[in-house]
Amino acid sequence: MNRMQTLVAADAAARPWWKGAAIYQIYPRSFMDSNGDGIGDLPGIAQRLDHVASLGVDAIWISPFFTSPMKDFGYDVADYCDVDPIFGTLADFDLLVARSHSLGLKVLIDQVYSHTSDRHAWFEESRRDRINPKADWYVWADAKPDGSPPSNWQSVFGGPAWTWDARRGQYYLHNFLASQPQLNGHNPEVQEALLGVARFWLERGVDGFRIDALNFAMHDPRLRDNPPAPPSGKPRSRPFDFQQRIYNQSHPAIPRFVARIRALTDRYDGIFTVAEVGGEDAEREMKAFTAGEEHLNSAYGFNFLYADALRPDTVRAALAEWPDQEGVGWPSWAFENHDAPRALSRWCKPEHREAFARLKMLLLVALRGNIILWQGEELGLTQVEIPFEMLRDPEAIANWPLTLSRDGARTPMPWLADAADAGFGSLDPWLPVGAENAARAVDRQEGDPASLLHHTRAMLALRKAHPALHHGAVSICRAAGDVLVLERAADGEQIRLLANFGEERAMLTEGQGAGEVLAAINGAGPRELPAFAALMVRL
C-alpha cells in the first residue's frame, strides 16, 4: 500500500459510517404483508431485506411501527416502547434488527417527539384535571374571555390548532390532527421521558433516529398570534397556509433539547441522527439543529420533496446552503418520501419517465450529503391515483381535492408482476397497488439487465467506490440553462457531472466532457447531451 492509499484508508476509518451513506426508507404498512391481513409488517420487512441489501445501501429507515390508533398511520403514538400488533411484536423487531445487521445494514427508526396520540397514557392522565403529575406535559391554555381559542394558530391538516376539552375546561394544542395533542417540550420531565424512549430503542440495538417534525417540538409560551402570510402566488388549500408560523413552532430553545439528544446518542457507538425540518425557515433551523459537534448529525428538508420540477437551479440553490465549511452541518437529501408525491409524476411527462428516472438516480448519487431512497424509487414507481372513497390519508380527505394525496405514494410495493397481489401478500391490501406500478415489479426488473433497478445498483456502487462522490466537497455547482455542471473532489480525486434536464439537445464546450467516463446515460457523449442525458467523468 502506497502513502496515498494509506492516507485514504486512514481517512475512511476515522469517518463515521453515516457520512455519505445511502439510506432506504421503508413504510411498514406497504412493504410486505407476511400474514395476509392487507397490511405490511415487520416479519414482511425481514423477508424482503435481501432485496434492500442487494441495492448497496448502508442503512434502512423504518417509518413508525409503534402502538397507535393509526389516525395518522403511526405518527400518532400511543406507546413509544412497544410494537403495534398489526406490525408484529418486539421480538419481531429484535429479529429484524439482527437480520439487518447480518446483511450489513444499519437500522434507523422514527422518533415522534412533538406530539402523541390522544390515546397515550400520558395524555389520558394529563387531561384528567389541572393538578395531576402530568398536567403540564401537554400544551393547555384557558379560553379567551369570549370562549374562543387562546391564539389564532392553525393546524397543518386544516382548522384551528386548538381543541376544547371539557374535563379540564381548557383548550389543548395540536399542530396536526386533533387526536395528536402537542407535548410541552419546554417541560424538563417531558424531555426526560423522551430521552428515556430513545434509550429504550438504543438498548435494543438501533443505529439511529429520524426525528419527525422537530421544529414543532416547542411553542411560544406567551401564545402570541401568528401574523398573516403575504401572498405567495401559490394556491392556499389550508388556513395553515395563510399564516407566518412564527409562534406555534420553531422556538429558539429547541437546539438545547437537541443537544441533550446528542449527549445521549454519543454514549453509544456509531449512532446517526437526522431531523425532519419543513417550512419557510427550514435552512436556518436545519443548521441550528446540526451545528458543531453537540447537535444532531444531519437534517433534511423539503428542497426537492415538493418541487414541481427538477431544474439545475433547484440543485444549485440546495447545495449552496450547505458549503463544506467548519461548523456547518452535514445535509441529507430525498427526492421522494411517504409524505410527498412520487417524483416521476411531478417532474416529467409520462413519455419521458424512463429516461428521467435514470437521470434522477445519477444526480441523487452525485449530491454531497447523505441520500435517502424511498421504497420503490429504485423501480421508478409513480403516483397512483386513489379515488376519494378509497383515501386513507386524513390530510387528503380534509383538503380534497386541493391537496395531493400522500396515499398515492404509499401504495404497496410490487414484488411479482404477474401475481394477482403483485407479491405483496394480500389480495385486499390497505391501498391498491396500481396496475402501472405492478408492471414495474422487482421480479420483472431483475430479469432485465437494462432496467432501472440494475441502473440503481450500478449508481449506488459508483458512489460507494469514489470518495469524491461519497463524501467529497462541492468545488463547482453551476446552472447553465438546462445543463447542470457539478464537480466534487476528495482524496485526490475530482469528478464532474454534466446533466441536461431539458427536452432539447445541449452542446458541451471543448474539453468540458473530457476525462475517464464513469457513467454516460441516455446517449450522453463528450461533445453533446441529448434530452435528459448525463455524463460523469473523472478528471
Which one of the listed residues 33, 41, 207, 276 is annotated catalytic? 276
For the question of residue 276 being annotated catalytic, the response is yes
CA atoms within 13 A on the CB side of 62: 31
- Calculate ∠ Cα 337-413-69, nearest 5°: 70
What span, in angstroms and rounded, lies between the C-alpha atoms of 291 and 429? Answer: 43
Cell output for 436: 402501472
Which one of the listed residues 212, 283, 393, 487 is annotated catalytic? 212
What single-letter amino acid sits at 135? A
For the question of residue 285 being annotated catalytic, the response is no
What span, in angstroms and rounded, lies between the C-alpha atoms of 473 and 391? Answer: 43
What span, in angstroms and rounded, lies between the C-alpha atoms of 306 and 280? Answer: 13
3-state class of 48 per DSSP? coil
What single-letter amino acid sits at 375? Q
Q: What distances in angstroms separate CA 395 from CA 118, 331, 350, 399, one per listed residue?
A: 18, 28, 27, 6
What span, in angstroms and rounded, lies between the C-alpha atoms of 277 and 302? Answer: 8
Residue 233: CB partners within 8 Å, gap ≥ 6?
A: none
CB atoms within 10 A of CB 509: 8
Q: What is the largest CA-CA distance in the chain?
A: 78
Residue 154: CB partners within 8 Å, gap ≥ 6?
A: 160, 161, 226, 238, 239, 240, 242, 243
What span, in angstroms and rounded, lies between the C-alpha atoms of 112 and 196? Answer: 13
* Contact indicator for 119, 69 with CB cutoff of 8 Å: yes
Q: What distances in angstroms separate CA 39 from CA 211, 239, 300, one per listed residue?
A: 24, 33, 28
CA atoms within 13 A on the CB side of 232: 11
- Calculate ∠ Cα 59-110-413, nearest 5°: 65
Q: Which residues are catalytic?
A: 212, 276
